[in-house]
């Protein structure tokens, strides 16, 4: 099927199905910041309640097959949030790959085509929700059910909960809330996990408390400070806390690195400012996409292994994946083994080759998605130049024309895209290997999300004075 035919087919399908899709309408007028914060809080509260509501009829499996992706998918095992934002991210990843490979051709400069693409993505999200819920429930909960009719109840719960999560994300994104629902849920999940690992007084497997600070106080009170630095089974320790703090400082520092291009207003005489091109120009989207791709690959590998090669006896399948029969969530060989991190410095020391390959894999895949996102997310030099001119600003010394401004931005944007993506991949991969609290990818996403929320609050103040300039900064 030709590319134009494929795109035309998608448009026809969207045209016929759109009236039947549940849509969250945009507010008739822009809500106040206070109102959007309240709506964001309501969406987050609903999500958190779902994360504490157990699946009816489901018995928790012995192993958590999605443990490695819980932070990225903001999910909780055995609850309505079992799949979390996984289906939304997976559907978005599929559509971005189809767009990036030009199998689907949409001109995002045209609002109608951008709208068709967004609706198509939502339609694909419904499909992914149904498929993932059915496959996951059948593979994880199905074998332990005495009455297989209950399986349909579990699948129905997972589908319904995932649709609610999709609508909550849409609610936040369409102007009722602030920012993105996906980002909000991820940041809340990572923050919750970090606070738990810092302050939880509950007992851990080594006889101490789970939280770093309660454990340190407990060890000092018992006169046993030798185990404060490192703990068994990758439990939170002084070392992991120090690494976490170091990664946080590096992330905050690199987020502030940018190239500033002077701009002047063509509408407001005397107004001058700078147009920042951050080192982390691509933000956290490539990391989310890379993590989602890896998580789905690992999950698919687990399902295939469980059905086709449970004893690791198939030499051909062993190239793809090998898992520990006593702990099916633990890869022990194959490609899957090398694209998942050895979490904790002890495991990294046992197999340093795996640690190095994983970090290099993260760097490479984040760079690929970073370059792809620049084109798809309207961040390319051409799009950035158009945004500048549309905001009634220009660069001193350059004609008010797209080509010279695009040429200037083209000197910086491709370079910061590659460099920034490489740094993000290296930080996420290294932090995962070193066993930072909250996970390398999770803490990276949390910091970036919180910084973006801060910048968005600043833009809210700018828009009060200069709406068009605020809209331009909003695209950044």
CATH number for the segment(s) 236-476? 1.10.3370.10
Three-state secondary-structure class, residue 243: helix
Q: Which is nearest to 387 in space by CA: 419, 371, 409?
A: 409
Residue 388: the pLDDT is: 77
Give me the count of residues in the chain: 476
Q: Where are the alpha helices (DSSP H) in 51-148?
A: 70-73, 86-100, 111-136
Q: Which is nearest to 448 in space by CA: 380, 372, 384, 366?
A: 366
Q: Are 1-178 and 236-476 in the same CATH fold? A: yes
First-residue to last-residue Cα distance in the chain: 37
Residue 257 per-residue DSSP state: -
- Specify the CATH superfamily of domain 1-178: SecY subunit domain (1.10.3370.10)
CA distance 89 to 73: 8
Residue 358: the pLDDT is: 93
Residue entry with tokens 């026809």: 12
Residue 407: the pLDDT is: 84
Q: Which is nearest to 85 in space by CA: 130, 127, 138, 125?
A: 125
The shares of helix, strand and coil residues in the chain, as percent rounded to the nearest 5, are 65, 5, 30
CA distance 51 to 383: 39
CA distance 225 to 216: 8
Residue 461: the pLDDT is: 67
Per-residue pLDDT of the chain (476 residues; tens, 9 = 90+): 444 577 778 888 888 888 888 888 888 888 888 888 899 999 999 999 999 899 988 887 766 766 767 777 888 888 999 999 889 988 887 887 777 667 777 776 677 777 788 888 899 999 999 999 998 888 888 877 777 788 999 999 999 999 999 999 999 988 898 888 888 898 888 888 888 888 888 888 777 888 888 888 888 887 777 778 887 777 888 888 898 888 888 888 887 788 888 877 676 666 677 778 888 887 777 887 888 788 878 888 888 888 888 888 888 888 988 988 877 778 888 999 999 888 888 888 889 999 999 999 999 999 998 888 887 767 788 888 887 777 777 777 777 777 888 888 888 888 888 998 999 899 888 988 888 888 777 888 888 888 888 878 777 766 655 555 455 545 44
Residue 1: the pLDDT is: 42
This prediction has a pTM of 0.76
CB 437 within 8 A of CB 168: no
Residues paired with 322 in a beta bridge: 333
In the chain, domain spans: 1-178, 236-476
């Amino acid at each position: 099927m030709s590319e134009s035919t494929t795109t035309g087919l998608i448009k026809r399908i969207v045209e016929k199905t759109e009236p039947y899709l549940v849509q969250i309408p945009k507010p008739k007028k822009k809500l106040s910041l206070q109102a959007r914060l309240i709506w964001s809080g309501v969406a987050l509260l609903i999500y958190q309640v779902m994360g504490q509501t157990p699946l009816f009829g489901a018995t928790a499996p012995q192993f958590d097959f999605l443990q490695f992706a819980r932070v990225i998918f903001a999910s909780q095992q055995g609850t309505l949030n079992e799949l979390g934002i996984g289906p939304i991210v997976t559907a978005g990843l599929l559509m971005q790959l189809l767009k990036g490979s030009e199998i689907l051709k949409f001109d995002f400069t045209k609002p109608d085509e951008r709208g068709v693409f967004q609706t198509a993505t939502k339609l694909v999200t419904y499909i992914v929700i149904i498929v993932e819920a059915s496959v996951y429930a059948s593979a994880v909960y199905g074998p332990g059910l005495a009455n297989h009719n209950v399986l349909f109840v579990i699948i129905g719960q997972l589908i319904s909960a995932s649709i609610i999560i999709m609508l909550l994300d849409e609610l936040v994104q369409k102007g009722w809330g602030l920012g993105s629902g996906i980002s909000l849920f991820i940041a809340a999940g990572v923050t919750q996990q970090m606070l738990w690992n810092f302050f939880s007084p509950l007992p851990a497997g080594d006889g101490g408390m789970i939280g770093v600070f309660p454990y340190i106080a407990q060890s000092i009170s018992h006169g046993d400070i030798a185990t404060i630095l490192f703990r068994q089974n990758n439990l939170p320790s002084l070392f992991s806390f120090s690494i976490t703090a170091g990664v946080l400082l590096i992330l905050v520092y690199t987020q502030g690195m940018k190239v500033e291009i002077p701009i002047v207003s063509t509408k407001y005489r005397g107004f001058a400012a700078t147009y920042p091109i951050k080192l982390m120009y691509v933000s956290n989207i490539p990391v989310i996409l890379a993590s989602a791709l890896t998580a789905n690959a690992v999950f698919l590998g687990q399902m295939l292994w469980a059905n086709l090669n449970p004893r690791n006896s198939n030499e051909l399948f062993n190239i793809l994946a090998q898992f520990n029969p006593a702990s099916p969530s633990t890869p022990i060989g194959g490609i899957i083994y090398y694209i998942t991190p050895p979490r904790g410095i002890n495991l990294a020391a046992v197999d340093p080759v795996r640690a190095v390959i994983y970090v290099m894999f993260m760097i490479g895949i984040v760079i690929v998605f970073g370059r792809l996102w620049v084109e798809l997310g309207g961040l390319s030099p051409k799009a950035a130049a158009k945004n500048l001119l549309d905001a009634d600003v220009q660069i001193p010394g350059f004609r008010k024309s797209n080509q010279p401004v695009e040429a200037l931005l083209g000197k910086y944007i491709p370079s910061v895209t590659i460099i920034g993506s490489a740094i993000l991949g290296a930080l996420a991969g290294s932090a995962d290997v070193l066993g930072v609290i909250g996970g390398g990818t999770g803490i990276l996403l949390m910091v970036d999300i919180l910084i973006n929320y801060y910048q968005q609050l600043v833009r809210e103040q700018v828009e009060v004075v200069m709406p068009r300039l605020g809209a331009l900064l909003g695209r950044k």
